[in-house]
Structure 1
């Protein structure tokens, strides 16, 4: 199970760009948490990609009345609800896992819809069982020389039993 929260946001100012907002994303998978930051436009790109293949929850609008802390807090909450809404599906889209940087999780690949109805493949390997020692049985059927049979028995089984000559 994956649990995602978007607990905070912060303003980033770089030298040549105007300031922008990044949202902190906490991703809990298998008891481990990792943290990443994404811009609104990265969320929007994910949404555009997902809505081509699945029905998505409502996405927060680009325009917020005010880009004040109150408006950004509302957007943060809506982004968290959006991600959680997709994660509540039975099969999680691979593009969302890539966005969240999650590996080795049961996914739905919408690249090929033929894979969805495919039966699971068993990885079980059958076991071969012998009721008697196959070498000794072969030795008796083929009629190997007693010296060979006795040498193998002594070497492998530390057995002094001698076969009767036929």
Structure 2
């Protein structure tokens, strides 16, 4: 139903020179193709984890380390948080608290706010398809018999035997 990734993070500096790191979380709603981006701090992920533990068996949550925040540490944390979220999303029932955390409730529920969880057992098991008009494969009579290498590659990728498709 949804795909989640954390492609980046950045440091936020407040007026009083305090700083913290936010992780940019991108959510793709598969049914519509809409992508929502939210920024969350590690402490917000921690709070989400505590709420999710009450409702379900959760994947391992990345521990809070008392280290100097280098790029390597932050990158490891980003990857660990991404893995955690992807593990939660793969469950049969996506908890409403997760959808609220990701700010996607309104895109999923619409007017059915009374539901506690979404049944994702009827999730699609394939990637979106690219379709071409049938005319795209007709050869131009002005062209010679040799195939354009790009057209041949696309046809080879889409069909098992390209030779069956060639009109001579």
**CA deviation profile, 1:95-149 (whole Å, cap 9, x unmatched):** 0000001125379727xxxxx9xxxxxxxxxxxxxxxxxxxxxxxxxxxxxxxxx
1:46 aligns with 2:53: no
Counterpart secondary structure, 1:10:
strand
Matches within 5 A, 1:25-44: 25-29=25-29, 30-44=32-46
- The alignment of Structure 1 onto Structure 2 pairs a total of residues equal to 111
Conserved 8 A contact 1:64-1:71: no
C-alpha displacement at 1:65, in angstroms?
A: 3.9
Conserved 8 A contact 2:59-2:88: yes
Unaligned runs of 5+ in 1: 111-115, 117-166
Q: Give the TM-score normalised by structure 1.
A: 0.62
Conserved 8 A contact 1:4-1:27: yes
Counterpart secondary structure, 2:18:
coil
RMSD of aligned residue pairs (Cα, Å)? 2.0
Aligned to 2:135: none
C-alpha displacement at 1:36, in angstroms?
A: 0.9
Matches within 5 A, 1:5-84: 5-16=5-16, 18-29=18-29, 30-63=32-65, 65-84=67-86
C-alpha displacement at 1:63, in angstroms?
A: 1.0
1:109 aligns with 2:122: no
Q: Give the TM-score normalised by structure 2.
A: 0.61
Higher RCO (Cα < 8 Å, 6 or more apart): 2
C-alpha displacement at 1:52, in angstroms?
A: 1.1
1:94 to 96, 100, 103: 96
After TM superposition, which residue ranges in structure 1, 4 or more long, deviate above 6 angstroms?
A: none
Aligned to 1:162: none
